[in-house]
Amino acid sequence: MQAKQEALDLQLRANEVLEARVYERTRALEEVRHGLEAANAELMRLSTTDSLTQLANRRRFDRLLDEEIRRARRAGSPLSVLLADIDHFKRVNDSYGHPFGDECLRQVAAVLAAHCQRAGDVAARYGGEEFVVLLPGLDAEQAVALAESIRCTIAHLQLQHGEQPVALTISLGVATLTPSLAAPADLLAAADAALYQAKNAGRDQVALAAEVNAGEQTPTLNA
């Protein structure tokens, strides 16, 4: 009986050791899994984020625009897009250098992000000194009002290069989803045409797009 009890105790201790090892191994595997998930999430964030401004990049914006257009069409809700371009940005870079130009881009990005506080709002750097904002649920009038607020805020930024104050302005084109502007390319083309209109009219202003036909060409902007 004593030998059997000793064998049973030995088996119990062996089971406890095995369970402890299994627990530790399971915990280690869970830590590795969580680490991989965090790393993958960070890689996804980096792949969809503009490194300079920390806004969404063009890849992410294009994907979200397509999703929001389909959602707006199903729900019958408004959807607007703002396309914005910093005025005379090449002159800023040439006069004050690219590091200061980068700071201007970050300042503009911060203004855009501050104006995108609702769920679904997305501000993105679309390339160079050009930005785009996705505004689900906003009609043309509301989007123009928001664009004007962005324009005014940027015009009042207190930028300095050394001791020299530097004025910065931005032009914005606004386009809203309509039956003839129901594809991403058409909506962006309309916003681009409105942006050109704002630039051509003297810059530092907001213009609302008229409807354009799919495939209609828009003029090339001069920053």
129 is catalytic: yes
Separation between Cα atoms, residue 105 and residue 131, nearest integer Å? 10
* Average pLDDT for 61-77: 94
Which is the catalytic residue, given 67, 103, 129, 163? 129
Mean pLDDT lowest among 37-41, 56-60, 178-182: 37-41
97-133 pLDDT, tens per residue? 999 999 999 999 999 999 999 999 999 999 999 999 9
With H, G, I as helix, E, B as strand and everything else as coil, classify residue 180. Answer: coil
Which has the higher per-residue pLDDT, 109 or 8? 109
Question: Is a pLDDT exceeding 50 seen at residue 220?
Answer: no
Q: What average pLDDT does the chain have?
A: 88
The amino acid occupying position 78 is P
Percent share of the chain, pLDDT over 70: 88
pLDDT at 25: 85
CA distance 147 to 154: 11
**In the prediction, which pLDDT does 31 show?**
81
Q: What is the pLDDT of residues 149-207, one digit of tens each?
A: 999 999 999 999 999 999 999 999 999 999 888 899 999 999 999 999 999 999 999 99
The whole-model pTM stands at: 0.77
Cα 151 from chain centroid (whole Å): 18
The residues facing 84 across adjacent strands are 131, 172
Place of tokens 């940005």: 89
pLDDT-based confidence at 37, cuts 50/70/90?
low
Task: Provide the pLDDT for residue 129.
Answer: 96
Q: 206 to each of 13, 79, 80, 112, 129, how far by Cα in Å?
A: 77, 17, 14, 15, 17
